[in-house]
Each structure stands twice: as structure tokens, then as C-alpha cells.
Amino acid sequence: MTVTEGAHGAHGAEDVRWDLTGLYRNPDDEELHDDLIAAEQMSDGLASRLRGHIADLDAVGLADAVDELQAIQEKVEKAQTFAYLNFATDTGDPDRGAFLQHVEEHATTVATRVLFFELEWAEVPDERVDELLADPALAEWRHFLRAARRFRPHLLTEPEEKVMTEKAVTGRSAWVRLFSQVTDAISVEIDGEQVTLEQALAQLYLPDRAARQRAGRAVTEALQGGLPVRTYIFNTILADHALDDRLRHYSSWIAARNLGNEISDATVEALVNAVTSRYDIPARWYKLKGRLLDIDDLNEHDRYAPLTPDEAEVGWDEARETVLDAYRSFSAEMADIAAEFFDGGYIDAPPQPGKQGGAFAHPAVPSAHPYVMLNYTGRRRDVMTLAHELGHGVHQVLANRLGLFNASTPLTLAETASIFGETVTFGRILSEETQPSARLALIGGRIEDICASIFRQIAMNRFEEAVHTARREEGELAPDEIAEHWIRTQRDMFRDSLTITDEYRSWWSYIPHFIHTPGYVYAYAFGNLLALAVYAKYEKEGTSFVPSYLQLLSAGGSESPDELVRLVGVDLTDPDFWSAGLQVVDELVAEAEDLAAAQTGSL
């Protein structure tokens, strides 16, 4: 079966393929093999010297141990990055899948050998920990070591942890890989032409309503074939997550994710409550959109319909210049870092059969440059996706200067730079548009992006809450049961502004976040509202704000989220923080309403 480009092509991005030789030459590269063997030998050496003695180390000895642990992990993660990126562009290739499994098995061997470090460090008495971390010798590792202890109440014994780690290769991670393979293999038939799922979804942005509806129905039909398999995978992930929570004594399905994000359950609950209490914002927008499009029965396939029927497709070169110019208007340093992704072969852009859907930025390791994957179809929204992923990329480049352990940020803060990048790009584009109808179309597109990143993500969080709870209380869930939770939580968000039809019942089944990272999605809302607050400060303070923002990105995960955002004058403990961010969105919808009224005299 051939998936053609044709009208659904990559618009100048066909040859924009990443070059992974900055990591390794190919899967047979001796350097890769040597790195994996070296990591195993180094982990053996570390364990033979320090197992049973972590509590006896002084500050200098502990710092040396963390240095060595980081060097081991750097070799492992470099190989894992190469294997995953090699797999992501053709998930149906059995050789690439086998190679990824080979690397993961080596990584698991190393992980089991160094497990003792985390477990023994967690058992060190608090008084001794405070004494050690006060020593200047551990200044670099202070947050890393303190943060590692937050999992202390949920750790098992070393033999149990080893079993959990080793079984993950044939357990949860295997199901995640299978999900990627079966989902990325989906082919959609539209008007007699076979296209990828990504290309079919792009047609929901077409001005022709009949074309949108055909594309939506075609996606629904294409999702049916593998639905039983994807449902079983989802059920298995839900059960595996419940088992982990029970064994590790987590209080709820989301508690482990919150702990990993270094965010309290109360903060996440406040975010969810704040967003769901303002579902009137997306409802107002979609009611307005229905009137602007003169569609009385707006449905799920109309959500992204352009307000102007002649929206031009954006070529790759234009997208590149738009984003780089926007970044440069904020910071020349950020623009220069972003340009490296284009010039160095660190982007894979065109949609391809078997290629993983969506988009991501992968941090690689500090000794290597990050990579960005897209499925570029020439829509204006693809330009914003490029700006989003390059925001991640710039963040990763700046943070990598701290080394592997301090560079990684919690998921909540990881989304801030990406959404800030989108906001800067949108602000630049809007500032150059003076025609009222075009401005309304731009603002409408921005509202929809924000609705997708804030309200829809929280609606998906509500869906996850429902299915995780139901799976634990009722056992394995049938597709119809999952669909009911999906439809209900989506309808809650849109209220009566848009009809969610039964065609949409299976659309939960291709969303990777539910499988890859359960509980992840609220991070988008968190990061978006945070980014809006940060951007508002930039608009108020101007260029004097830029250094503090770059300082935030350069700090990576070297402090807690609360401490890091204080660098840009934000207080996450302020109970009004989320409401203030939502007010920015409210005002954007009000601006669209005013523009529409001025143009029509009746809206």
C-alpha cells in the first residue's frame, strides 16, 4: 500500500530529514557498542566499590559517586536516544524495532546494577543528609540529591526494584512500543487516496466543510480496524499503572506523576479546578465561531476550520524564516540557537508512512545536540508547532550546559519554553497584520491553540481520571465504556457550543500521551498558563526581561519549579495565579468578539 504526497505533501520540507551521525554513524557503529559495554562495566565497578557504603560517604566521596553515575547514564541515554530516533521515523521496520529493544535491554542491565545508589541514599537519615548537602563539595548536586529522596516512601526493596526494572522491558515498555507501531501504521483513505493519519487530520483545517467532514469520517473509519488492539493496550497500561501505585503506596492515580513533576497534589487540583470552572471561555469562542462561519450545527470536525477560506499554505522556507524572525525579535541568542536546528540537520520534518505521529523535541544528552521531529503539512498551525518544538529545543540546548542530571526539567516547566516560543511567534505575526478580518482569523487560530493546550488538555486529564478510576474499580474496560468517558469529558468542555457526535467516540485511541506518559497532559495547561503569565511580564518590562528568562531556561532542573519560576517573578503558590492566566485567555476571546462585532455589526 502506498501513501502518496500529492496535495497532502510536506510543502518544501520533503528533504528535511535529520542526520543522526552526531550521535552514531549507524546501528552497527562500534562506538555505540563500546558505549553500552563501557556503561555496564562502569556500573559494575561502581556497585562493587560502593554497594552498602553510600551512607558512609563524605561530601567529596558522594560528589564523586554522582559524577560517575552521571557519566554512566550519559553513555546509556546517548545510545537510547539514537535507537529511539532511528525507530521514530519508521516504526514498522522490524530491524529498527529489534535494535531499539537491544539497546533498551542493555539500558535495563545498567539500571539494575546502579539501583542500589538511589535506594541506599533514600535510607540515609535526614540529619546526615542536611549535613552533607550543606557542604560546598555537593553544591552542584544539592537539588538532584534532595529531589531523589522525594520517592523514599514509595521505594521497594532492592530485589523487588530489580524485578520491576527488568520486567519493564517485556512489560509496559513493550506495550508502549506496540502502540506506536500499530498507531503509526494507520492509513486513511480519502477520496480514493491513501494518506497517513497526520495528513488526514491536517484536512480538518481545510476551508471546505464537506472536505473536513469527509476527512473526519475517514479518520473514524480508519480507527475502527485496530481499535480492539489499542483498547487492550490501553487497558494493560491502566492495569500496570494501578499495580505500580498499589505496590508503591501512592494515594491516587496521579500522585506519582505529581511527585515526579515536583508539584503538590493540591497545586494540580487547583489548576484543574480553575480551568474546568472556566469552560465558558472555549464555549464562548465556539459559539462565536459558529456564527462567523454561518454554521448552526458546528461539530468536532469543524473545530479548526479557518475563518477565512483562502488561508494560504505555508512553505517550509517561509515557516523557518517566520519562526527565526520571531525568536530574533525577542532574543538574538535564542534565534541563533534555533537556527542551529535547521543548519545542523537536527530536524525531521515531512510526514512519512510508518513515521511516528505528532511532533516532539528530544533532548539527546548534553554531549550531543537535541533533535526535533515534525509532521509538516504546510498549515499555519504547523508553523506554531515548529515554534513550539524549537522552544523545547532552545531550552534543552541552554540547560544542557549543566550536565545530564541538572538539565532535565519537570514536565510542567518543560512546556513553558515551548509555549512561550509559540506566543512570541504569534505576537510577531499579529503585529504585522493590520487588516481586521485577517487579525480576527489570526486571533481565532491563537484562541484555538490555547483552547487545545489548556482546556482540551484538562478535559483529557478528566478523561484519564475517569478511566483510571473505572479500570481499578470495574476491571477491564470495553471500547464503549472508554468511549463514554471520552465523549462525556469532551462535551463538558464545549458545553452547547459544539456538537460532539458519535463519530468521535474512538478518537481517544490514537493519542500517545495516555500510553507513553499517563497523567502527562495537565503539564500543557500548567505550562501554557505559566507561559502566558511570563509573556505578560515581558510585554510589560520589555527587553529588560530577556536576561531573566534566559536564566530560567539555562537553569534546567537545577532547582524546584517553585524556585525556578521565581527567577522571572512568578509565584506558583499564589492562589490567584491560575485565574490570572485564564483572564488573559478571556480577554483574547473578548477581543475576537469585539473585532467580529465591528466587522458585522451584529455579533
The answer, yes or no, to whether residue 188 has pLDDT greater than 90, is: yes
Residue 377, burial from CB neighbour count under 10 angstroms (0-12, 13-18, 19+): buried
Parallel/antiparallel/unpaired status of strands 347-348 and 371-373: parallel
* pLDDT single digits (tens) 456-466: 999 999 999 99
| Cβ neighbour number for residue 132 with a 10 Å cutoff | 21
Cβ–Cβ < 8 Å for 387, 328 = no
Residues in the chain: 603
Report the pLDDT value the prediction gives residue 579, as an integer from 0 to 100.
86
94-123 helix and 172-184 helix, angle to the nearest 10 degrees: 150
pLDDT greater than 80 at residue 573: no
pLDDT at 1: 29
**pLDDT grade for 7, boundaries at 50, 70 and 90:** very low
Residue 159's CB is within 10 A of a number of other CB atoms, namely 9
> Is the model's pTM score more than 0.75?
yes
**9 pLDDT band (50/70/90 cuts)?**
low
Bridging pattern class, strands 193-196 and 187-190: antiparallel
Q: What is the 3-state secondary structure (H, E, C) of 428-463?
A: HHHHCCCCHHHHHHHHHHHHHHHHHHHHHHHHHHHH
pLDDT at 603 over 70: no
| Cell numbers given for 372 | 526535533
- pLDDT band for 11, please (50, 70, 90 cuts): confident
Which residues make Cβ contacts (< 8 Å) with residue 404, sequence separation at least 6?
Answer: 70, 73, 74, 77, 365, 366
**Contacts of residue 594, Cβ cutoff 8 Å, sequence gap at least 6:** none
Q: Are 75 and 365 in contact, with CB atoms under 8 Å apart? A: no
* H or E element at residue 77: helix 59-88
The residue out of 149, 170, 191 marking a domain boundary is: 170
Q: Considering just the CA atoms, what is the radius of gyration of the chain in Å?
A: 24
Give per-residue pLDDT as tens, 397-410. 999 999 999 999 88
Residue 351 is assigned to a structural domain of this protein: yes
CA distance 447 to 282: 8
pLDDT at 310: 62
CA distance 138 to 58: 10
What is the tens place of the pLDDT at every residue in 48-62?
A: 999 999 999 999 999
Mean pLDDT of 466-472: 98
For residue 533, the model assigns a pLDDT of 87
Listing DSSP states for 454-511 in one string gives: IIHHHHHHHHHHHHHHHHHHH-SPPHHHHHHHHHHHHHHHHTTSSB--GGGGGGGGG-
Cα dihedral sign for 199, 205, 211, 214? Answer: positive
| In-domain check, residue 526 | no
Last residue of a domain, one of 148, 170, 192: 170
Task: Read off the pLDDT of residues 16-50 as tens digits, 9 standing for 90 and up.
Answer: 999 999 999 999 999 999 999 999 999 999 999 99
Counted domains in the chain: 2
For the segment 307-314, the average pLDDT, to the nearest whole number, is: 77
Under a CB-based contact definition with an 8 Å cutoff, are residues 582 and 430 in contact? no
> CA 321, 323, 326, 330: dihedral to nearest 10 degrees?
-120
Look at residue 509 and tell me if it is in a domain. Answer: no
Q: How far apart are CA 460 and CA 515, in angstroms?
A: 13
Mean pLDDT, to the nearest integer, of 579-600? 91
pLDDT classification of 4: cutoffs 50, 70, 90: very low
Residue 197 pLDDT: 93
170, 185, 215 - which closes a domain = 170
pLDDT-based confidence at 513, cuts 50/70/90? very high
Strand boundaries in 70-112, DSSP class E: none
Q: Which pLDDT belongs to residue 5?
A: 39
Gap between the Cα atoms of 170 and 564, Å rounded: 37
C-alpha cell at 599: 466587522
CA atoms of 603 and 593, how far apart (whole Å): 7
Average pLDDT, the chain: 93
- Give 2's pLDDT tier (boundaries 50, 70, 90): very low
DSSP count for the chain of H helices, then E strands? 26, 5
Lowest mean pLDDT segment, chosen from 42-46, 357-361, 413-417:
413-417
Residue 380 is assigned to a structural domain of this protein: yes
Return the ∠ at Cα 234 (arms to 230 and 240), rounded to 5°.
145
Percent with pLDDT over 90 in the chain: 83
**Which residue range is the domain that position 333 belongs to?**
316-437+541-587
Max Cα separation, the chain? Answer: 78
Q: Kindly state the DSSP code that residue 64 receives in the 8-state scheme.
A: H
Kindly list the strands in the beta sheet with 371-373, ordered across the sheet, starting from the edge strand earlier in the chain: 347-348, 371-373, 360-362
**pLDDT at residue 491 is higher than 60:** yes
Q: What is the pLDDT of residues 327-341, one digit of tens each?
A: 999 999 999 999 999
pLDDT value for 3: 34
- For residues 601 and 6, the model is more confident at 601
Looking at residue 340, its pLDDT comes to 98
Query: In which region does residue 360 sit, left (phi positive, over 0), alpha (psi from -120 to 50) or beta (all else)?
Result: beta
CATH, residue 120 = 1.20.140.70
**DSSP state for residue 249 in the 8-state scheme:** T
CA–CA gap between residue 164 and residue 157 (Å, rounded):
11
The per-residue pLDDT for 194 is 94
pLDDT above 90 for 154? yes
Is 426 a domain residue? Answer: yes
Average pLDDT, integer, range 516-528: 93
| Closest CA relative to residue 254, chosen from 411, 479, 30 | 411
Distance CA 372, CA 366 (A): 15
**pLDDT tier at 313 (50, 70, 90 boundaries)?**
confident
Domain contains 340: yes
Given a contact cutoff of 8 angstroms between Cβ atoms, the answer to whether 434 and 543 are in contact is: no
pLDDT digits (tens, 9 = 90+) for 233-286: 999 999 999 999 999 999 999 999 999 999 999 989 999 999 999 999 999 999
Asked if residue 353 belongs to a domain, the reply is: yes
The answer to whether position 444 is within a domain reads: no
pLDDT at residue 600 greater than cutoff 80: no
Tens of pLDDT along 66-119? 999 999 999 999 999 999 999 999 999 999 999 999 999 999 999 999 999 999
% the chain with pLDDT above 70: 97
Whether 8 has a pLDDT exceeding 90, the answer reads no
DSSP 3-state of 408: coil
